[in-house]
Amino acid sequence: MNIKPLPLAGAHLVETTPRGDHRGHFARLFCAREFAQAGLPTEVVQANHSLTVPAGAVRGLHFQRPPMAEVKMVRCVRGAVFDVLVDIRVGSPTYLRWHGETLSADNMRLMVVPEGFAHGFQALEPESEILYLVSQYYSPELEGGLRHDDPTLGIDWPLPIADVSLKDAAHPLVGEGFVGIDLEVS
């Protein structure tokens, strides 16, 4: 397991080291000891799964406010996605900056999305599936979101946008009702 910091403070990319033979392969997706050694959270209270059927569809950008702000550990288990996180921590030197990585069943990467970040993805292949390990319980009253097409963010999605839910399309733009998360930034 190789844990690499990303350009946005607190965000990490975990590359697995599969071991294989003629039958296939085996790889660790999560190791509490190695995550703790890297200073990452180790408590998982929920595991979520999503299937996105059309390539080009976007889900997100979602987050939860304190006290239920969550860390997400995201892995694509079928297909491929362009996984995006946005720093929404007020006072952060990278406030409103985004970073994206391709996660796929083939590359077996895991994105660690810290508290105070919005998260979303675009399916790059049909029938893409994502597995999320989450550090907090879902709390609908503390849920928030940003628009995938917010010009302030300027996210460069790799495919034309094929589909977005009505809920995600209704999220506010930065400057039009969006309020960041007030967390201590280290």
Amino acid identity, position 172: P
Please, which residues have CB within 8 angstroms of residue 24's CB and are 6 or more apart in sequence? none
99 carries an active-site annotation = no
Catalytic option among 12, 62, 99, 119: 62
12 carries an active-site annotation = no
Catalytic option among 99, 132, 148, 171: 132
Inter-residue contact 64 to 113 (CB < 8 Å): no
Tell me the catalytic residues. 62, 132
